[in-house]
Amino acid sequence: MNSIINRIDKNQFWKFHGGIHPPEQKFITDNKPIRTLALPKELIIPLQQHIGQAAELIVSVGDNVLKGQALTASNHPMAVPVHAPTSGTVTSIRNSTIAHPSALQELCLFLTPDGNDTWQQRNICTDYSQLSHQTILEKIANAGIAGMGGAGFPTHIKANSSVNNSAINSAKIEFLIINAAECEPYITADDLLIKEHSPTIVDGINILYELIKPEHILIGIEENKPEAIKTLQNATKDIAHIKICVIPTVYPSGGEKQLIQILTGKEIPSGFLPNSQGIIMQNVATCYAIADAVINDAPLIKRVTTVTGLGLNKPQNVWALLGTPVSFLLEQCEYQPQSNKQRIIMGGPMMGFALSTGNVPVVKITNCILAPSEKEIASENTEVECIRCGQCADVCPAQLLPQELQWSAKAKDHEQLEVLNLFDCIECGACAYVCPSYIPLVHYYRIGKAEIREQKQLEIKAEKAKIRFEARKLRLERDKKAREEKQRQAAQARKAKMNSGTPQANTEMSAVAAALARVKAKKAQSMSTGASMVQKPSSGSSAKPKNPQVAAAIARAKAKKLANQNKDIGDNNDANETITEPQTQINTQTNTQTNTQANTQANTQANTQETIPTEAKTNNPKAGISAEDKKSKVALAIAKAKAKKLAKDKLLEASSIEKSSVEEKPTKVSSVKQSYAEDPAEDLAEKDLANNLSKSTVKTDKTLLESINKDPMSKETISKKDSVSEHGNINNIHSKKLASNANLTEDEVRKAKIAQVIAKAKAKRDISDHNEDDLVAIEKKKRIAEAVAKAKAKKQQRSELT
């Protein structure tokens, strides 16, 4: 420890491995004072400007905010707030391109300055030694200070770790190192800040001294800043524990681990933070911000940014409000674009990234905006093969093996990358700088790092999925067992009760016996009826009027058939009569088979509205296009609608029974449905109509099913019906062809359209006729019907595929 101080006193420092000497290019800006800029028209404030978590918004669009007012707040320790850099109005909060190499969009707050620059209420504290540590830390945290050297680590955590966590790290903080090295070419922001504001910086250092109580404070500064060194020496000459360490200029001496090695000779082990070795490092700009926050109660709302490069007429350091668009800075420094190929780089030339748009804002870590001329930064050199010269390994400050890393990164050998300690790479770019083959080594490492990180994320996710999968399996098994157990117990309980011999049990038993007997009797009866029906089909019709659903369905079918037959006569009354007196119609019916046929035909007509006119046409091709025919068609439609309504009313009444019946016979529905589904698919292109159709189809199907179910002859009927419906379809197609052959297409189409419109209107009116409850029910049914139709289609498709 003493030897370290002795060496420092003698100006003898350690060396870190490697390092390069790129052209410094600091002369462009280091002799010009920091300029304060006019307010930009709009400020773009990203909600997250540091490592860690974004805080939550506490303002909304349209709010007027004062300068220094917090815009976000959070209780999360890794979240620091952002503040309004000037007074103005929040104009919008939306996603915008952020200062990140990915040029992704993140949530940003857009502030339009009002030009008054009104500060919020501030409590200026002249004597910070009166404040408790906790108060100071809170002030630092509330000021939103995050490491301004480039990483953006929340400062209050670093400053706090020394106080509370020293027990955990079991290392007393020996050294507080203030990083003023600023080793990257072009950048002079810290240099200028020291020159102009060294008293404030020293205040900040003193505050940190109070908080951390280190044994020594070392300020590391490269020897290429003589003026700044002098200023600092003057400002600190009365403070014994602060030592100014003037170190040789070599890139990247400003890296945290590198500077620690230069000043103390200690190497921070891989994967450890410097405070584990009793060292804490802060940037000079952070010290300035701390002093400003604690003494002047001014949150971090502006920073010194070097706007440099030969592409500018007036390169200089500026006080940039956080959120100032880069384009505004360039404009202020008179950017002269020479060609389209020119890039704007945020950060230094070694570690920065090219911006995709000028609309990116300055954030807490933006120390430099570089607008180089084409001469300064050579346009892309094509990468050639590695020649194994080993220069990269010579210059690597982290003592890695860049060329091996590069091979492994290209081969995506993640294990090998980790063996080679990829994560110790500080991405300084020294290796890429010296590479004679122009291999962009750092980019390969960045890709490799991102891939490994993603891989780890995936592994975590996979582990989670595995646990959840296993938990689910367990749960399912448990549920199954529990269910079986329950059933078993219930069965046992029932048995026990039955056999218990109590009068209640006896009555129950007798009730069951009675029910069984009833069922048996019924079965026998129905069998005998069925047999009699086969022998005497006409008796079936006499049984029918008992069943309203069946009656309705048959009536409807009759109506249709009659209407068809009477079409050429065009007798409206006849058709109407058919509907109004379905019972008589039924009685006149003699053959159940004709009945079924009629049924099917009726269904086909009711469901495939479009086919009606076609069929009508084929039924009486001679009738032509007469007015009478039209009339008859209207009559038919009316008749149909009435029949439908009748059926529907009954249907609604018995909807619950219906449902169960539908569930009982899903296969039948499907077979019926399929035949219909095929039909409209051919006949109709319009989708909504198809929907309409499928809806009505299901309904009529239900009626049909109902009738079938209640019909003693159900089985026979179904089989017949299926075949008949198929037959009917073929007939339809056939008749259609006939019609087109007869050159009636034009009128046909017209009529079909009219019929369609009428049918649609009817359907609509039908719906509106019902009260709201019914509407909801219909809606629901429709949805279910649609779902069923979809499912069917899918199934069919799948089966076709296989």
Residues that bind another protein (CB under 8 A): 22-23, 25, 98, 100-104, 106, 185, 343, 345, 349-350, 352-354, 376-381, 429, 432-433, 438, 440, 443-444, 446-447, 450-451, 453-454, 457-458, 461-466, 468-473, 783-784, 786-788, 790-791, 794
CB of 30 to another protein, least distance (A): 16
Residue nearer to another protein on the CB measure, 189 or 432: 432
Residue nearer to another protein on the CB measure, 106 or 174: 106
Provide the terminal-to-terminal Cα distance of the chain, rounded to the nearest Å.
Answer: 79
The residue with tokens 């068809």 is 564
Residue nearer to another protein on the CB measure, 139 or 673: 673
Residue nearer to another protein on the CB measure, 154 or 429: 429
Complete edge-to-edge strand list for the sheet that includes strand 242-247 = 242-247, 216-222, 175-180, 279-283
CB of 350 to another protein, least distance (A): 6
Residue nearer to another protein on the CB measure, 68 or 372: 372
For 569, phi then psi, to 5°, come to -80, -30
Residue nearer to another protein on the CB measure, 387 or 515: 387
Cβ 51 vs Cβ 154: under 8 Å: yes
DSSP, residue by residue, 581-632: -HHHHHHH---HHHHHHHHHHHHHHHH-TTHHHHHHHHH-GGGTT-HHHHHH
**Strand-strand pairing, 72-73 and 56-57:** antiparallel
CB of 378 to another protein, least distance (A): 5
Instruction: For residue 707, give the amino acid letter.
Output: S
CB burial of 570-609 (b: ≥16 within 10 Å; e: otherwise) equals bbbebbbbbbeebeebbeebeebeebbbbbbbbbbbbbbb
CB of 94 to another protein, least distance (A): 16
d(CA 15, CA 259): 9
CB of 308 to another protein, least distance (A): 12
Residue nearer to another protein on the CB measure, 491 or 787: 787
Residue nearer to another protein on the CB measure, 239 or 476: 476
Cβ 80 vs Cβ 144: under 8 Å: yes
Cβ 111 vs Cβ 91: under 8 Å: yes
CB of 447 to another protein, least distance (A): 5
d(CA 547, CA 647): 12
CB of 314 to another protein, least distance (A): 21
Residue nearer to another protein on the CB measure, 479 or 664: 479
Cα dihedral 760, 761, 767, 772 sign: positive
User: What is the CA 630 to chain-centroid distance, rounded?
Assistant: 57
Residue nearer to another protein on the CB measure, 622 or 798: 798
Residue 97 parent element (H or E): strand 88-97
CB of 101 to another protein, least distance (A): 6
Residue nearer to another protein on the CB measure, 520 or 790: 790
Cβ count near 721 (within 10 Å): 24
Find, among 279, 252, 438, the residue nearest to 349 by Cα: 252
CB of 439 to another protein, least distance (A): 8
Instruction: For residue 450, give the amino acid letter.
Output: A
Cβ 106 vs Cβ 96: under 8 Å: yes
Residues 6+ apart with CB under 8 A from 115: 39
Residue nearer to another protein on the CB measure, 87 or 96: 96
CB of 466 to another protein, least distance (A): 5
CB of 236 to another protein, least distance (A): 33
Angle between helices 611-619 and 714-741 (to 10 degrees): 80
Angle between helices 627-653 and 655-664 (to 10 degrees): 90
CB of 376 to another protein, least distance (A): 7
